[in-house]
A = this chain, B = another copy of it.
Amino acid sequence: MGNASIVGIGSTAFGRQEDRDIVSLAVEAAEAAILESGIDRARIGAVYLGNFIAGPLTGQEVLAGLVADNLGLENVPCTKVEGACASGGIAFRHGVLSVRGGGCDAVLVVGVEKMSGAPTEATTAALNCAMDNRSDGVTGLTFPGLFGMAWRVYEGRYGLGRDQVSAVVRKNKANGLNNPLAQMGRDLSDDEIAQSPLICDPMRLFDCCPTSDGAAALVIAGDGVAGEVAAPPVRVMASAQTRGAARIAGHGDLCSFDATVSAARRACAEAGIAPGDVDVVELHDCFSVAEIIDAEDIGLMPRGHGAGWAAEGRTAVGGDCPINPSGGLLAKGHPVGATGIGQLYETTLQLRGTHPNQVRDAAIGLTHNLGGTGVACTVNILGRADA
């Protein structure tokens, strides 16, 4: 089985882009990734596009084929993949599989979502497509509600101060200030966070990621192509995709999501590393408390210590366990289908040593997405070419 590397990256800014349609966002990111790689587009043997809710929100499907057509790519298999918030990560994994053993010299993977412009109720209804609506959606549950419950369960188990959670928010919002692609970098005080509007007790406005438009794209290639490109290739060390319980009642414990635990274990085993070997992490902080739970599920710190590590600055860019130097979903934004590819874009910059919030000597990076109420997860691990 051959190796796969990221040899080109592209991204739109994340944010509200009311005047842009979903196809043009995806094409912009993909065009940039292909141009950066410098490869002849005739060598691209497949297109995978991650997207979650273009159907309900934009009335546009067959996006993989549409985007390839707009890019003037050859007649190659073009597939949209969907797994809620893990859609981008799933697209990446299929690109990797196509290069490793699927006979493709290179593959284009794109993630895209267009969320602005729809009424709030329509957006909420579309996001709830990620729940089992026979059991959870009918109860009136929303995703802020799910993570509000998780917060309360975590608080009861380990203790969790408002200020500790706010440390996550402050860190990610501040990281976003430096990231030119980020939707809402902010310099926030604990008071501003604690006094922001209540969304779903105990979750406040700044605990929640924004509604975003955006696209990101990668060119993944085998060793033959990776030797020819301009930018230093970044190796794919592992790509894992797992499933967890589809309903709240299927989870033993809202302090942890099985799909993350198993995806991180499988990815680390494939890469031959331990979680502690990772130098930089982009994980799925759809809500502030999710960063704490996800980090523990990945195995970055002991259970019950995620909030403390944030408060102590250990998860800052200069800390010993840097998490979400991009700003994460909280500050960079969360155009759902694009998020996973956007994390890999950011991590590629880190491993090239050119990130605006560069982690010193970053050699191994990990990305993580969790979809629905924990039903779908991807964990990917990248390595610097010389690492």
Chain A interfacial positions (CB closer than 8 Å to B): 21, 23, 52-56, 59-62, 64-66, 68-70, 73, 75-84, 90, 93-94, 97, 101-102, 125-126, 128-130, 132-134, 137, 241-247, 250, 258-259, 262, 371-372, 375-376
Contacts and interface: CB of A to CB of B under 8 A. Distances in A.
Contacts of A66: 132, 246, 375
A167 B126 CA distance: 43
Contacts of A247: 69
A250 B65 CA distance: 13
- Among A56, A73, A130, the most chain B Cβ lie within 10 Å of the Cβ of A56
Contacts of A375: 62, 65-66, 69, 78
Contact of A52 (B21, B61, B102, B129): B61
A88 to B, nearest CB: 13
B243 A68 contact: yes
A81 B81 contact: yes
Nearest to A250: B69
Contact of A244 (B52, B75, B97, B129): B75
A83 B79 contact: yes
Contact of A258 (B52, B75, B84, B125): B75
A205 to B, nearest CB: 26
Contacts of A242: 75-77
A215 to B, nearest CB: 16
